[in-house]
Amino acid sequence: MFDFSIITHWIHQALTSLMPEGLAIFIECVVIGVCIILMYALLAIVLIYMERKICAFFQCRLGPNRVGKWGTIQVICDVLKMLTKEIIDLKHSDRFLYNLAPFMVIIASFLTFSCLPISKGLEVLDFNVGIFFLLAASSIGVIGILLAGWGSNNKFSLIGAMRSGAQIISYELSIGLSILTMVVLMGTMQISEIVAQQADGWFIFKGHIPAVIAFVIYLIAGNAETNRGPFDLPEAESELTAGYHTEYSGMHFGFFYLAEYLNMFIVAGTAATIFLGGWMPFHIIGLDGFNAVMDYIPGFIWFFGKAFFVVFLLMWIKWTFPRLRIDQILNLEWKYLVPISMVNLILMVLIVVLKLHF
């Protein structure tokens, strides 16, 4: 498995030999930021196209098929259209909060996206409390949603924002408990260390039944966190027009749109990292020849393959189940997922203490 830290260390040494270390670090931060933005935009285009085609497949349609080969340029045309749309300035809105909201949502998404380990040596943010930071950064987005609903001075936007706030804050408990269950098994919160520990087996297999239960709960709660169906009540078109981003246009609406899809990828990437080994290849103990072949596949291919597999599962859920009512959403969380997560956490503690895991 190739270690990209060799390249990054060589670039750092080359820059520090030509300029002061402070300037070299500043240039590196700018380059890394640009790379994250480009990857963010590229992934958004791929995910939107993927959503349209998968949705069409489930509904026995063709999806985009006119602009470009198999409709591949349709999303790019939509992006260009959105960039040229006028940003409407509402007359009776709270302009500061109204304009701040989309940036809060996109910044939270960027921070969380930067925590994902794409391959060995390609971790942008890798703290010893990386999981804690990831959960904290992802929680900022709900503030932007609430600000959007309040700042728009629109009753539909406010109702959508309140629904979204109640839903996200509730389902953060299930996400936190399911990840905490795996932290008990992992014994660390550093993301690079979490991936390294799965060299001899992914945690979804090593953690027995509690790991599988935590994975299922994480997928359900992750879908709710991103406001996607069947948990898309905050932007229910039949009731609230477009929910908390009803009054947004142009690139401000584009920020909300991008954040929704990238948050879905972040949920999938986190699941791939914690449960499915991240960039670590699939190994079977005793089959050295098979393991050697798996090692030839680059780490970033493993990571994106696992992440897009989870993305497909999330899209499958969205286009299979009908939209839930708000009372059903909250009942599912507080009466079922939270108690099951707490019992599951205790089971994982017993497995680790009694050393029953692989």
Indicate if the pLDDT at residue 291 is higher than 70: yes
pLDDT tier, 335 (very low <50, low <70, confident <90, very high otherwise): very high
Terminal Cα distance for the chain, rounded: 23
Q: Kindly report the average pLDDT of the chain as a whole number.
A: 87
Indicate if the pLDDT at residue 276 is higher than 70: yes
Q: Which of 32, 78, 234 is nearest to 141 (CA)?
A: 234
Percent of the chain clearing pLDDT 90 (strictly above): 25
Using CA atoms, how far apart are residues 297 and 295, in angstroms rounded to an integer?
A: 5
pLDDT at site 157: 83
Percent of the chain clearing pLDDT 70 (strictly above): 97
pLDDT at site 358: 66
Copy the structure tokens of residue 64: 């985009």
pLDDT tier, 237 (very low <50, low <70, confident <90, very high otherwise): low
What are phi and psi for residue 136, nearest 5 degrees? -65, -45
H or E element: which one contains 353? helix 338-353
298: three-class secondary structure by DSSP: coil
Contact 181, 348 (CB under 8 A): yes
Using CA atoms, how far apart are residues 63 and 60, in angstroms rounded to an integer?
A: 9
Distance of CA 83 to the CA centre of its chain: 24
Widest pairwise Cα distance in the chain: 69
Query: Global pTM?
Result: 0.90
Tens-place pLDDT, residues 38-91: 998 899 899 999 999 998 988 888 888 888 888 888 888 888 888 888 777 777
